[in-house]
Structure 1
């Protein structure tokens, strides 16, 4: 019998964190899963740790390939996946015990919903709550605010052609993926709870980005979805014009009320003088 959920865990030199990530997968309330560990050309003990877990529980499946980056590694793992639903999980994060059970119940009972995501708890070199907003295309086009650690239908991944492997620099594949799903009007469902723990370290990929690298990735996304950005700009422009018109009408109305009030005062004053 095929698993319902495929958890995709790309790894690159993850020996320090992989053990705890896999422990969080094993300890979930939901147990109809497979975990596909993909070693993206690590040169540390990642393979040794992954093989230990694969021997411990057959639901952990290990693959190794040359280093190609996060987008290609996620796609590689999902191509091997047998589950109806996909959960990308970075090899330094921890999935919450009840996330998969609750998310899959929502997806199974609501065919119109394609993605279930939630909030996160920081740990490591930062603590606190990462409160995530509901999906809005206009906000997503400005920048990504939903982590890759969400559960979605594998069908949706097929429909958009997977994660974009052609970005100038790896690290924003989930941003492009969410926009692509939004273009297809896939419905997102936000769980108002912590669904995973997000590890913060100085060595995180996003901290290695320079302003130039960010600029090139932004330019790539804007160019790829240029028609969508144009539509959003037009919508913003028309909204501003509508508000400006409403404001002018309100202003004229307020001026009229003020004039009427002053005239009334004046008449009252004249009446008292007489």
Structure 2
């Protein structure tokens, strides 16, 4: 019988963190899962660690391939998954034990929901909370504020063609994916709770990005979703025009009141002076 949810765990030189990540998987309150570990060309002991967990629990599945990057590795794993739901999990992050259970309850209660996500707690080189907003398509067009560690229906991954493998640089696949789902009007649900722990390291992939790399990925996304950006710009422009017109009406109305007041005040002042002179 197929599992309800597939947890997707790409790995690249993850020997320092993988044990803790897989421990957070096995400690879930919800136990009807499979975990697909994909070794993306690691040169350390990642494979040895992963295989030790496969021996412990047959719900862990292990694959190894040449290094191709995060987007391709996630797609590689999801193609081999059997779950109704997908949960991407970086090999240095930690799941909170009630995340999957809480998300499944949301999906069962409202069949229209396509994605469930929550807040995070930083650990490693940074401490504190990462509290995110509700999903707004217009805001997502500007920048990504939702991590990949969210649970979504696999059918939507199929519908958008998976994670984009053609971006100039790997690292913004999550952002593009959330825009793609938003373009389909997929409904997101924000669990106002900490759902995972996010590992902060100076060696993370995104921190290695130069401004040029950011710009090239941004331009790629802008071009791919040019229709959505144009529609959003048009909406903002018309909204701004409406605000300006209302502001002008207010100014004219205020000017009328001020003019009337000044005129009245002037008349009464003249009349008062006239009476005093008399």
* CA drift at 1:272: 4.3
Distance 2:208 2:160 in 1: 28
Aligned twin of 2:92: 92
Aligned twin of 1:72: 72
Distance 1:255 1:104 in 2: 59
Aligned twin of 1:36: 36
TM-score (norm 2): 0.96
Unaligned 5+ segments in structure 1 are none
Aligned twin of 2:111: 111
Aligned twin of 1:189: 189
Q: What is the DSSP-based 3-state SS (H/G/I as helix, E as strand, rest coil) of the residue aligned with 2:237?
A: helix
Distance 2:261 2:193 in 1: 52
Aligned twin of 1:247: 247
Q: What is the DSSP-based 3-state SS (H/G/I as helix, E as strand, rest coil) of the residue aligned with 2:188?
A: strand
Distance 1:267 1:22 in 2: 85
Q: Does structure 1 residue 61 correspond to structure 2 residue 61?
A: yes
Cα-to-partner distance string for 1:143-173 (whole Å, 9 max, x where unaligned): 1111000000000001001000000100000
Aligned twin of 2:233: 233
Cα-to-partner distance string for 1:167-199 (whole Å, 9 max, x where unaligned): 010000011100110111001111111111110
TM-score (norm 1): 0.97
* CA drift at 1:133: 1.0
Aligned twin of 2:102: 102
Aligned residue pairs total: 274
Unaligned 5+ segments in structure 2 are none
Cα-to-partner distance string for 1:32-80 (whole Å, 9 max, x where unaligned): 1111111101010100110011110111111111111000100011111
Q: What is the DSSP-based 3-state SS (H/G/I as helix, E as strand, rest coil) of the residue aligned with 1:38?
A: strand
Distance 1:235 1:140 in 2: 15
Distance 2:19 2:41 in 1: 18
Q: Greater CA radius of gyration, 1 or 2?
A: 2
* CA drift at 1:257: 2.1
Q: What is the DSSP-based 3-state SS (H/G/I as helix, E as strand, rest coil) of the residue aligned with 2:15?
A: coil
Q: What is the DSSP-based 3-state SS (H/G/I as helix, E as strand, rest coil) of the residue aligned with 2:120?
A: strand
Q: What is the DSSP-based 3-state SS (H/G/I as helix, E as strand, rest coil) of the residue aligned with 1:36?
A: strand
Q: Map of 1:1-274 to 2, 5 A cutoff?
A: 1-270=1-270, 272-273=272-273, 274=275
* CA drift at 1:267: 4.4
* CA drift at 1:212: 0.8
Distance 1:267 1:20 in 2: 84
Distance 1:24 1:267 in 2: 81
* CA drift at 1:136: 1.2
Q: What is the DSSP-based 3-state SS (H/G/I as helix, E as strand, rest coil) of the residue aligned with 2:86?
A: strand
Q: What is the DSSP-based 3-state SS (H/G/I as helix, E as strand, rest coil) of the residue aligned with 1:261?
A: helix
Q: Which moved more, 1:92-101 or 1:252-261?
A: 252-261
Distance 1:54 1:159 in 2: 31
Distance 1:136 1:147 in 2: 14
* CA drift at 1:259: 2.2
